[in-house]
Amino acid sequence: MSGDVVIGIANEAIKVTLLLAAPMLVVGLIVGLAISIFQAVTQIQEMTLTFVPKIIAVLLALVVALPWMMQLMVDYTQNLFNSIPSYIR
């Protein structure tokens, strides 16, 4: 196995990891920004106000995106396993 193959596998793994994490990170960012704006406008500085809505929003994003995430992981794994014969040449 050459170095190019290893770099290609690592590159694909990083791409899949970023795609899997993106929905939750984006939802957390948007909800956090909205809560920060709300706190700045109302001058309410309660710490639980920041965590609870973000946890709920990220959980909902996970539930919504889970079928797509599972399909992405299954496709990546099948592609990796199907390519094993070409890697050992």
For each of the chain's 89 residues, which pLDDT tens digit applies?
788 888 999 999 999 999 999 999 999 999 999 999 998 898 888 878 888 999 999 999 999 999 999 999 999 999 999 988 888 87
State the residue range of the domain holding 64.
3-87
CA dihedral 49, 50, 56, 62 (to 10 degrees): 170
Domain count for the chain: 1
Within 10 angstroms of residue 62's Cβ, the number of other Cβ atoms is 13
CA dihedral 24, 62, 33, 40 (to 10 degrees): -140
